[in-house]
Copies of this chain bind each other. A is one copy, B any other.
Amino acid sequence: MRSFEIKNRTSTEEIKSLRLITAIKTPYLPDGRFDLEAYDALVNVQIKNGAEGVIVGGTTGEGQLMSWDEHIMLIGHTINCYGGSIKVIGNTGSNSTREAVHATEQGFAVGMHAALHINPYYGKTSLEGLVSHFGRVLSMGPTIIYNVPSRTGQDIPPQVISTLAQSANSANLAGVKECIGNDRIKQHIDKGIVVWSGNDDECHDSRWNHGATGVISVTSNLVPGLMRDLMFGGKNPSLNAKLMPLIEWLFQEPNPIGLNTALAQLGVVRPVFRLPYVPLPFAKRVDFVNLVKNIGREYFVGDKDVQVLDDHDFIVLDRY
């Protein structure tokens, strides 16, 4: 189901060179459908502040809470509107190989530049199964493999990556989004594998001390310009230290709970949550206002005053 006509087709080499990729938030309308106007504003602010790529429907963007048709639509929308300005990487991974194959085929058909692929979380599989799973999707286009055992319950060992890097479709392997830490990053780099840090709190060191190409970031949803500086401006431990309290606040609960709460407080998305996500409690929302003041409102997305928001301001949905 291949097409050679896709506009703005991107080479794997271009993907390999990206330093700041944002795992973009998906905002919702009060009835739970996508709020595309808010989404467009979020993407525009990323482009304006120098992000080079977006992950559409990652765990941050709550791809796991989308139907596949919503998911592919959002990839298509993003490509249509922004494909010339930013690289669009669709999270078309799944713990079901059938779903991953189908979604990846569709994502490339609507023009996405690259795919992000997770190992089969929850169901898990053997190493042979991992190689078979990734092998099925690697043939379709530029691919980033995503390793996050704290979510998947299973590490992707370096030997699996090496096997893929030597497979028939290795030219499509852009690299690895790695959350295990800097030692693992070094292991990959030593074998010539491109790596992005998947941990905002480590990404400065990963980039400048351990050979990572860049970061796939959650925090950049909030402060894209500062994250751009962190990835492009050379070693900058003081900026890194300045961001650390924000990052710690963001990840005190499973992402994107913090991010969703923060973007609502900044007035750039409606305070609408799809369950099982719920907002951070009141005290934490007060903390966020203080964090914004300490870092400087001007570095954050949006132009409204940051607010605490009351519990009753939030809409939490189980049907949508």
Interface on A for B, CB 8 Å cutoff? Answer: 1-7, 29, 31, 33-37, 39-40, 44, 59, 62, 64-65, 68-69, 72-74, 76-77, 79-83, 95-98, 101-102, 105-106, 109-111, 118, 120-126, 128-130, 132-133, 136, 149-154, 253-254, 257, 274-278, 280-281, 316-320
A276 touches B130 (CB 8 A): yes
**Chain B residues, Cβ within 8 Å of A128:** 278, 281
Name the CB-closest residue of B to A256: B123
Provide the bound-state CA to CA distance between A310 and B274, in Å.
36
Name the CB-closest residue of B to A36: B3
A275 touches B121 (CB 8 A): no
A151 touches which of B3, B124, B132, B136 (Cβ 8 Å): B124
Decide: A129 near B276, CB < 8 A? Known: A2-B36, A95-B64, A98-B319: yes
B98 touches A129 (CB 8 A): no
**Chain B residues, Cβ within 8 Å of A7:** 80-81
Provide the bound-state CA to CA distance between A34 and B108, in Å.
13
**Chain B residues, Cβ within 8 Å of A132:** 275-276, 278, 316
A–B Cβ pairs within 8 angstroms, 9 of them: A4-B40, A69-B69, A74-B109, A76-B79, A77-B111, A80-B111, A96-B274, A123-B254, A129-B254
A64 touches B4 (CB 8 A): no
A109 touches which of B73, B123, B318 (Cβ 8 Å): B73
Provide the bound-state CA to CA distance between A111 and B111, in Å.
12
Decide: A109 near B77, CB < 8 A? Known: A64-B95, A97-B318, A318-B101: yes
In the A-B complex, the 4 residue pairs with the smallest Cβ-Cβ separation, listed nearest first, are A76-B76, A97-B275, A76-B110, A124-B254
Provide the bound-state CA to CA distance between A73 and B74, in Å.
11
Provide the bound-state CA to CA distance between A42 and B33, in Å.
34
- A143–chain B nearest beta-carbon distance, Å: 16
Provide the bound-state CA to CA distance between A105 and B121, in Å.
25
- A1–chain B nearest beta-carbon distance, Å: 5
Provide the bound-state CA to CA distance between A214 and B141, in Å.
40
B80 touches A253 (CB 8 A): no
A276 touches B40 (CB 8 A): no
Q: A64-B122, A81-B111 are in contact. List 5 more A-B contacts (CB 8 A).
A: A4-B40, A72-B72, A98-B320, A129-B276, A149-B153
Provide the bound-state CA to CA distance between A95 and B102, in Å.
20
A277 touches which of B69, B111, B122, B125 (Cβ 8 Å): B125
A6 touches which of B35, B81, B120, B152 (Cβ 8 Å): B81
B254 touches A6 (CB 8 A): no
Provide the bound-state CA to CA distance between A118 and B118, in Å.
20
A133 touches B6 (CB 8 A): no
- A258–chain B nearest beta-carbon distance, Å: 10
B275 touches A110 (CB 8 A): no
Provide the bound-state CA to CA distance between A109 and B125, in Å.
30
**Chain B residues, Cβ within 8 Å of A130:** 276
Residue with the highest number of chain B CB atoms closer than 10 Å, among A126, A132, A133, A257: A126
